[in-house]
Structure 1
Amino acid sequence: MDLDHARTVAVEAAEAAGTLLREGTRGTIGVRAKGVAGDVVTDLDLASEKLLLERILTAFPSHSVIAEESGLVGAAGGEWTWLVDPLDGTNNVAIGLPAFVVGVALCRDGLPVLGVVHDPVSGQTWSALRGRGATASTGARLAPPYAPSPHGPLLAWTQGYGVARDDARGSALKQAMERAARRVLQLWAPLLSWAMLARGDIDGIVGYRAEAVDLPAGALLAVEAGLDIRTLDGGPFEACMDAPAERRSFVAAHPRAIPGLLALLR
């Protein structure tokens, strides 16, 4: 498997989907309800996903794909599986907020080996290969320094769609963050938060039962940028695509910041 070729395919597909999204957000967007938790899907989600599936499966017809809207395409349990989030930030697009990205990951036996995040608004793309670092589309290596603020960390929060409003654990985590952080961002676009963390724009991310389709790409980008991800009790964390929701809660930050974040969450 040529991972450099896979990255080229993924980057080109994500950027083509980004062009579609950027142009589509200039016109009228068809929005409809998705599920019973207040989520939505747009015509742009579906068009972007169609483009991504065609690009990936043309290049790798024997691979499987799990896409946000289509679900599993191909056989389950294969060695190579792609994860596709065609529009991470759908709710933002629906209300006219320009904060959304495209995410693609390739997993081998459930673990991410390639991650790509493309921001159609800024035109920037970030990608990572397991064990080979993370880079921006300019070629610059992502390696944010440890730069603590005396006013507290700037954190992002993400949670899965299945988390109830009255979930006691989730509420306690958010309250702890609000007390200790300088700001807490809730972007409705987790992959955008991961890109911001890998660039060094924010100090950490706290995730609670995060969604599985976008977690591997973002987590790989962060790890390959030199950041650390831990479970909420401080144990090792692996962004496996098959992990159940209870194993998709985490703290991500610079390794030197992790102990302090874990302490404030406890």
Structure 2
Amino acid sequence: MIEEDPLNLDHARNVAVEASEAAGALLREGLSAAVNVHAKGDAGDVVTDLDLAAEKVLLDRVLTEFPDHTVVAEESGTLGSAESRYSWLIDPLDGTNNLAIGLPAFVVGLALCEDGLPVVGVVHEPVTGHTWSAVRGGGTAGPSGPVAPPYRPPAHGPVLAWTQGYGVARDDPAARALKLTLETRARRVLQLWAPLLSWVMLARGDIHGIVGYRTETVDLHAGVLIAQEAGMTVRALDGGPFDGTAPAGEEGSSFVACHPAMLDELLRAAADAARVRAAFPSFAGL
């Protein structure tokens, strides 16, 4: 790995915010016309011409400003330097499946990582024009200033968001056990098809927690940092530390995220789901 001078993270955040808002303006304008949707892979994912156009805006701005950084983009793969300690994760349109069916629930996301650890995170919502951003150790900022919501205990069960990777099969027994356990304990379990939007909702205090199972990385780190800097905690399903990487032998990252006051409750749910899975080896067929 090459030696690099320390980066001005506030400058990097400003670049990411401006890039996300430029991409968001393009997406917002594109909604007025017919959207061309194409199949992507064998797991039901899709891509649109808007994804590709928004990604080009983001890549042009990030690589122009930081030509020596590594960039991992949702549609274009890995670009830039392969040896930099700084890497950008770019999701030009998180929630493409929503946009494809006319549901206005999608965002633009960028994360900057230093030696694999997210240090800048930005999520922009094109429909509202609102942006949330965070710098590690510097808190989270939203449209109206700092974001650090107080804890509000759920009166009738928590509202949770569920997210899983595209590689998770419909009959995955661990996923089914987790979802069933959450459904029996929560007032509502949201499946938004836009993980970064869920992270912003958690950071704002709109929902009480997120449970993720074998999730992808490109739409993870920006949201994790924004939530953490707003006072939320993220742990592995077994309660251990969570660094955004998958355990050896697993595909994707699994976690619970919530206000610290709710952590024990979510970890108990995850543990109960594991016991259900162990007690019923053929759970996927039930």
TM > 0.5: yes
- Report the equivalent of 1:148: 153
3-state SS, counterpart of residue 126 of structure 1 = strand
Q: CA deviation at 1:74?
A: 2.1
Q: CA deviation at 1:155?
A: 0.1
Rounded to whole Å, the distance in 1 between the matches of 2:252 and 2:23 is 30
- Report the equivalent of 2:258: 253
1:176 paired to 2:181 = yes
1:110 touches 1:241 (CA, 8 Å); kept in 2?
Answer: no
3-state SS, counterpart of residue 128 of structure 1 = strand
- Report the equivalent of 2:234: 229
Q: CA deviation at 1:77?
A: 4.3
Structure 1 residue runs of 5 or longer lacking an equivalent are none
1:213 touches 1:241 (CA, 8 Å); kept in 2?
Answer: no
Residue identity matched to 2:134: A
Rounded to whole Å, the distance in 2 between the matches of 1:243 and 1:26 is 45
1:100 paired to 2:100 = no
Single out whichever of 254-263 and 72-81 deviates more from structure 2: 72-81
TM norm structure 1: 0.96
Q: CA deviation at 1:38?
A: 1.1
Rounded to whole Å, the distance in 1 between the matches of 2:247 and 2:127 is 31
User: CA separation of 1:18/1:31 partners in 2, compared to 1, >3 Å: closer, same or farther?
Assistant: same
Residue identity matched to 1:59: E
2:51 touches 2:92 (CA, 8 Å); kept in 1?
Answer: yes
- Report the equivalent of 1:213: 218
Q: CA deviation at 1:88?
A: 0.2
Rounded to whole Å, the distance in 2 between the matches of 1:234 and 1:24 is 43
Q: CA deviation at 1:144?
A: 1.8
1:117 touches 1:217 (CA, 8 Å); kept in 2?
Answer: yes
- Report the equivalent of 2:282: none
Q: CA deviation at 1:150?
A: 2.5
Q: CA deviation at 1:166?
A: 1.0
How many residues of Structure 1 are paired with residues of Structure 2 in the alignment?
A: 265
- Report the equivalent of 2:29: 23
Q: CA deviation at 1:265?
A: 2.3
Q: CA deviation at 1:264?
A: 1.9
Q: CA deviation at 1:146?
A: 1.4
Rounded to whole Å, the distance in 2 between the matches of 1:229 and 1:245 is 19
Q: CA deviation at 1:236?
A: 1.1
2:246 touches 2:252 (CA, 8 Å); kept in 1?
Answer: no
User: CA separation of 1:34/1:97 partners in 2, compared to 1, >3 Å: closer, same or farther?
Assistant: same
Q: CA deviation at 1:78?
A: 2.1
Rounded to whole Å, the distance in 2 between the matches of 1:255 and 1:85 is 28
Residue identity matched to 2:257: A
- Report the equivalent of 1:127: 133
1:198 touches 1:221 (CA, 8 Å); kept in 2?
Answer: yes
Residue identity matched to 2:36: G
Q: Segments of 4+ in structure 1 off by > 6 A?
A: 241-244
Rounded to whole Å, the distance in 1 between the matches of 2:191 and 2:205 is 17
User: CA separation of 1:81/1:195 partners in 2, compared to 1, >3 Å: closer, same or farther?
Assistant: same
Rounded to whole Å, the distance in 2 between the matches of 1:76 and 1:243 is 23
1:137 to 143, 152, 166: 143
Q: CA deviation at 1:50?
A: 0.4
Rounded to whole Å, the distance in 1 between the matches of 2:100 and 2:252 is 30
3-state SS, counterpart of residue 55 of structure 2 = helix
1:112 touches 1:239 (CA, 8 Å); kept in 2?
Answer: no
Report the aligned-residue RMSD.
1.5
2:119 touches 2:225 (CA, 8 Å); kept in 1?
Answer: yes
Q: CA deviation at 1:76?
A: 2.8
- Report the equivalent of 1:12: 18
Structure 2 residue runs of 5 or longer lacking an equivalent are 1-6, 272-286
Q: CA deviation at 1:244?
A: 7.4
Seq. identity, %: 66
